[in-house]
Amino acid sequence: MTTRSQIIQRKKIYEIPPTRKLFLGIVELLIALVILLGFVINTEPNTLTRFVMTPGGIDIGKMPDWVIPTLPTLIILTIIPALIGLYQLVRGFGRATNGMVGLSALCLIFGFITWQASGTSVNLAGMFTSAVLLAVPITLGAFSGVLSERAGVVNIAIEGMMLMGSMIGSLIGSITNNAWIGLVGAILSGLLLSLIHAILSIKYKINQVISGTVINIFSAGMTAFISQKYLQTNQALNSPPLFTRIPIPGLAKIPLLGPMFFNTNVFVYLTFILLIVIQVALFSTRWGLRLRSVGEHPRAADTLGIDVIRTRYEAVLLSGIVAGLAGGFFTLGSVGRFNEGMTAGKGFIGLAAMIFGNWRPLGAMGAGLIFGFADAIGSKLLLLGSAIPPQIMAMAPYLITMIVLAGFIGKGDAPAADGEPYEKE
C-alpha cells in the first residue's frame, strides 16, 4: 500500500524548481508573442490556407484537402501557448511540463506553416509522412540512449554506432544483394562497438563520455577511409537494395494515418514495435525493474543480489543493437547508398530526444517526431518559395538540440547513477 510519506515523496520528485517554472512560463508566453507579432498581424483577413491531406504518389488512403481560415487559426494557435504559459507561471504542470513545452512548440511550427501557406496550398500529409521517416533514426537513437542510461551508462557513442551501421549495412547489403542480411550486418556492427564501449566504461571504468567520443572519432575515420578507398571506386559495393513500402491490409486505407503509419517501410514498423517492447520491458517486468534499479542505486541493487556489472553489460549491448538498426535505416531504408557523415548528428539529436522525453520510450518517441517534423519543414519551404533561406530552416533541428542539451528541459527523471562507474566491494 502507498503510504502518505511515499505520496509526498513522489510529489517532491516531480516538483518543478521555481526558476525553471518561471523560465518555461516566459518561454511559452514568448512563443505566443512570436505567433501574434510574426504571423497574426501580417495575415490578411478572409485568407484561406489549403492543406493537401494525401501524400504524393499514394493511391490508397486518400482524403479531401483541408481548407482552413488562416487568421482565426493563427489566433487560436496564439491563445494555446499563452494559456499554457500563464498556467505554468501560476501553478506549473509537474511531470507534464515537457509535454506542454512540446505542445507550445508545435503551435509555433504549425502557425508558421499556416501563415507561410496562406493563399496557397501545402501537402501537409506529405510533410507528416516525411516527418515520420525522418524521426525514425532519431527515435531509435533515443531508444538506444534510454536502454543504456537507464542502467547508469552514458552512451555518447550512438552517433558512431549509427554511422558504422549505415556503412556496414550498405556494404553487406550490396555484396549479398539482400537488404535483410545488410540489416543484420548493421546491427552486428553496432553490437560490436557497444561491446567495446561496455568494456572500456564498465570493466576499465574509463570516463564514459571519453569512451563514447573515441568510438565516434574511430567510426567517422574508418567509414570515411573505407568509403574513399573502396565504395567510391567500386559502386557495386555501395548499391544495396532498399526496403520498399509494405502496406498493411485494411489499415493502409485509413485516411491520413494509413499512408503515414501503415503503408511505409519496415523501419517504421520496427520503431513502433520497439516502442512497445522497451516500454513494457522497462516498466512492467522484473528485468526492467532490476535494470532501472542498477541505474538508480547500484549499491542497493548489489546488496539485493542483482548483478550490477552483468546488467549494465546487457543494457549497453542492447543499446548498440538498436543504434545499429538506426544506422541501417539511412542506407537500407532511405538513401540507398552510403555517403560520408550521412548520419549528420542524428545520434546526438536522439540523445536530445531522450532528454526531452525524460528517459522514457514514449516521451522519446514524441520528441523524435517533433525533431523529425522540424527537419521536414525545410524541404517544403523550397516548394512554397519562402523568403526565409532554407539553410536557416535546415538548422532548426540542430538549434533545438542545442537548446535541449543546454538544459532547457531540465534534468527531469534522469537516473541517479547515470554516468557513475560501479566498483564492486
Please give the chain's pLDDT, 425 residues, in tens. 444 444 344 444 456 678 878 888 998 999 999 999 999 999 999 999 999 888 877 777 778 889 999 999 999 999 999 999 999 999 888 878 878 888 898 898 889 889 988 888 888 888 888 889 999 999 999 999 999 999 999 999 999 999 999 999 999 999 999 999 999 999 999 999 999 999 999 999 999 999 999 999 999 999 999 999 999 999 999 999 999 989 998 888 888 888 889 999 999 999 999 999 999 999 999 999 999 999 999 999 999 999 999 999 999 999 999 999 999 999 999 999 999 999 999 999 999 899 888 899 998 998 898 888 878 876 676 666 666 666 666 676 666 666 655 555 555 678 999 999 998 76
Distances (CA, A) of 54 to 65, 66, 114, 130: 8, 10, 17, 12
pLDDT (0 to 100) of residue 407:
52
pLDDT (0 to 100) of residue 398:
66
C-alpha cell of residue 420: 557513475
Q: Contact at 8 Å (CB) between 29 and 86?
A: yes
Cα distance between residue 237 and residue 334, in whole Å: 17
Q: Indicate the fold that domain 134-368 takes in CATH.
A: ABC transporter involved in vitamin B12 uptake, BtuC (1.10.3470)
Residues 6+ apart with CB under 8 A from 168: 182, 185, 186, 188, 189, 327
Cell numbers 521536414: residue: 376
- Which of 283, 154, 307, 358 minimizes the C-alpha distance to 298? 307
HSE at residue 40, side-chain half, CA atoms within 13 A, is 17
What is the arrangement of strands in the sheet containing 66-69, beginning at the earlier edge strand? 66-69, 48-52, 121-123
Cα distance between residue 313 and residue 62, in whole Å: 47
Which SS3 state, helix, strand or coil, does residue 52 take? Answer: strand
Q: Contact at 8 Å (CB) between 115 and 287?
A: no
Entry field: residues in the chain: 425
pLDDT (0 to 100) of residue 399:
67
Cα distance between residue 411 and residue 391, in whole Å: 31
Cα distance between residue 5 and residue 366, in whole Å: 32
Largest distance between two CA atoms of the chain: 73
Position 158, amino acid:
I
pLDDT (0 to 100) of residue 3:
47
Cα distance between residue 174 and residue 189, in whole Å: 16
Position 182, amino acid:
G
CB 60: neighbour CB atoms within 10 A?
14
pLDDT (0 to 100) of residue 401:
60
DSSP tag of 340: T
**Number of DSSP helices (H) and strands (E) in the chain, helices first:** 17, 5
Domain boundaries, the chain: 134-368
Our CA angle for 332, 222, 140, nearest 5°, is 40
C-alpha cell of residue 314: 546487457
Q: Contact at 8 Å (CB) between 127 and 101?
A: no
| H or E element in which residue 264 lies | strand 263-264
